[in-house]
Chain A
Amino acid sequence: DIQMTQSPSSLSASVGDRVTITCRASQTISRYLNWYQQKPGKAPKLLIYAASNLQSGVPSRFSGSGSGTDFTLTISSLLPEDFATYYCQQSYSTPTWTFGQGTKVEIK
């Protein structure tokens, strides 16, 4: 199975900060990489698909980039509602899709 490793596991940031989360795949996955946001007690919500495409309704302060094995999720200016846990997920290896372990964004 393709392993997905996120860094950092957690970070503390302030409202207005620029935040970058990294996801690394154990082998090349082209651009078959999605990002989800999850808030406590809720299901994950799709933010970015195919590495850099913003899901409908997701604010433009979220962006994704990368290809091959290295990917990033960037929040350009953190808002209070963005404090959550973020997961990457590869869809290159069918049918064994895998997620990262998550990055928790906390309030500083």
Chain B
Amino acid sequence: QVQLVESGGGVVQPGRSLTLSCAASGFTLSSYGMHWVRQAPGKGPEWVASVSYDGSKKYYADSVTGRFTISRDNSKNTLWLQMSSLRADDTAVYYCAQEGDYYGTLIFDFRGQGTLVTVSS
């Protein structure tokens, strides 16, 4: 079955860096666009970044542009999110999500438990 396992979260000081990983299994990663979506405590989800199936196109939310980098290695079935210059408002559970296209509508398919990033001194 489809599984996405996020890891790499933790407590980090403001201004520091952290890299999240998402291990994919149960499907052919190279066939899907992938996304990172985060959710701050008590808030709705927020789309953070996306990468096309082949890694050629990358998009970022304004709130993370210039600080976060999304990447993937289809041969390793892994997605990453490199985060730098972290701020308190980056504190959230980070989910990776498989992209789906249903009748022309993009949906997020969340199959993992997320990883918590806490930015605090």
A44 touches B108 (CB 8 A): yes
Report the contact-size class of chain B (Cβ under 8 Å from the partner).
Answer: 20 to 34
Known A43-B112, A50-B102, A96-B61; contact A91-B107, beta-carbon cutoff 8 A: yes
Assess the A32–B44 pair: CB atoms within 8 A: no
Residue tally, chain A, CB below 8 Å to B: 27
B76: A residues at CB distance < 8 A: none
**A-facing mask of B38-67, CB < 8 A → 1, else 0?**
000001111100100000000101100000
* Most chain A beta-carbon contacts within 10 A, residue among B62, B105, B113: B105
- Which parts of B63-112 form the interface with A (CB within 8 Å)? 95, 100, 102-112
| Contact status B43-A50, CB under 8 Å | no
Known contacts A87-B45, A95-B59, A99-B45; is A43 also within 8 Å of B103 by CB?
no
Contacts of B111 in A (CB 8 A): 43
**Are the C-beta atoms of A96 and B103 separated by less than 8 Å?**
no
* Contact sample, A vs B, 29 pairs, CB 8 Å cutoff: A1-B62, A34-B107, A36-B108, A41-B113, A42-B113, A43-B111, A43-B112, A44-B45, A44-B110, A45-B110, A46-B107, A46-B108, A49-B105, A87-B44, A91-B106, A91-B107, A94-B106, A95-B50, A95-B59, A96-B47, A96-B61, A97-B47, A97-B106, A99-B45, A99-B46, A99-B47, A100-B44, A101-B43, A102-B43
